[in-house]
């Protein structure tokens, strides 16, 4: 177990769906002895299925909830926070991210993302539809603007991604 006394900030993982934010956040949190929070899991716990929420109330309503959950998380003691892939599309959420020092963009190619989504039978991704390519391309500039560090994850294991983050901030 790695102990880092110098860390006083959250580690925020951002990136498109299917890049491994949830998996990496668990390994990273374990190695840093920090709690882990997943914004999507918290939203599901509070509001139910995200697909149903978006279908009934719209994506804009979902983004407001996501921003509220994220804002509450960053007020808590340091943790590893895995965000939803679209958090960067909401201006207020993006402003929060841009103000934080340890925002890590897990970047993957669209081909890798599509293969991962296709093979992931455990997660329903409401926005993994015919517009995925346009959504992916439109978000890249937001991820870049928010990130303090980028890890290209295409050829890396979850453990290797976590190691790169620890090496950067350790």
Assess whether pLDDT exceeds 80 at residue 150.
yes
Select from 63, 76, 78, 84 the least CA-distant residue to 21. Answer: 84
Where residue 170 falls among pLDDT bands split at 50, 70, 90? low
Residue 6 placed within a domain = no
- DSSP code, position 88: G
Residue 70 placed within a domain = yes
Whether the CB-CB separation of 19 and 113 falls below 8 Å is answered with yes
Residue 5 placed within a domain = no
Residue 3 placed within a domain = no
CA distance 133 to 137: 6
Condensed to tens digits (0 to 9), the pLDDT of residues 95-113 reads: 999 999 999 999 999 999 9
Condensed to tens digits (0 to 9), the pLDDT of residues 27-59 reads: 999 999 999 999 999 999 999 999 899 999 999
| Entry pTM | 0.89
Burial 35-49 (b: 16+ CB within 10 A, else e): ebbbbbebbeeeeee
Tokens 């995925």 -> residue = 132
CA distance 98 to 87: 12
Residue 66 placed within a domain = yes
Question: What's the domain count of the chain?
Answer: 1
**CATH, residue 111:** 3.40.50.300
Length of the chain: 170
E strands present in the chain: 11-14, 36-38, 80-82, 103-107, 149-152
Residue 26 placed within a domain = yes
CA distance 91 to 93: 5
Residue 89 placed within a domain = yes
Domain that holds residue 103: 11-169
Tokens 């897990």 -> residue = 106
Residue 1 placed within a domain = no
Q: What is the dihedral of CA 14, 101, 139, 122, to 10 degrees?
A: 10
């Amino acid at each position: 177990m790695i102990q880092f006394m110098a860390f006083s900030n959250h580690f925020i993982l951002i990136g498109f769906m299917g890049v491994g934010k949830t998996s990496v956040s668990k390994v990273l949190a374990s190695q840093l002895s920090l709690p882990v929070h997943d914004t999507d899991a918290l939203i599901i716990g509070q509001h139910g299925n995200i697909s149903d929420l978006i279908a009934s109330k719209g994506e804009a309503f979902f983004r407001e909830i996501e921003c509220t959950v994220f804002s509450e998380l960053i007020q808590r003691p340091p943790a590893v926070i895995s965000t939803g892939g679209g958090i960067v599309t909401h201006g207020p959420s993006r402003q929060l991210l841009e103000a934080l020092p340890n925002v890590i963009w897990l970047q993957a190619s669209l081909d890798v993302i599509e293969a991962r989504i296709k093979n992931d039978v455990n997660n329903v991704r409401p926005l993994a539809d015919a517009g995925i390519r346009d959504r992916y391309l439109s978000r890249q500039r937001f991820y870049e603007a928010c990130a303090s560090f980028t890890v290209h994850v295409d050829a890396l294991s979850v453990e290797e991604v976590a190691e790169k983050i620890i090496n950067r901030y350790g």
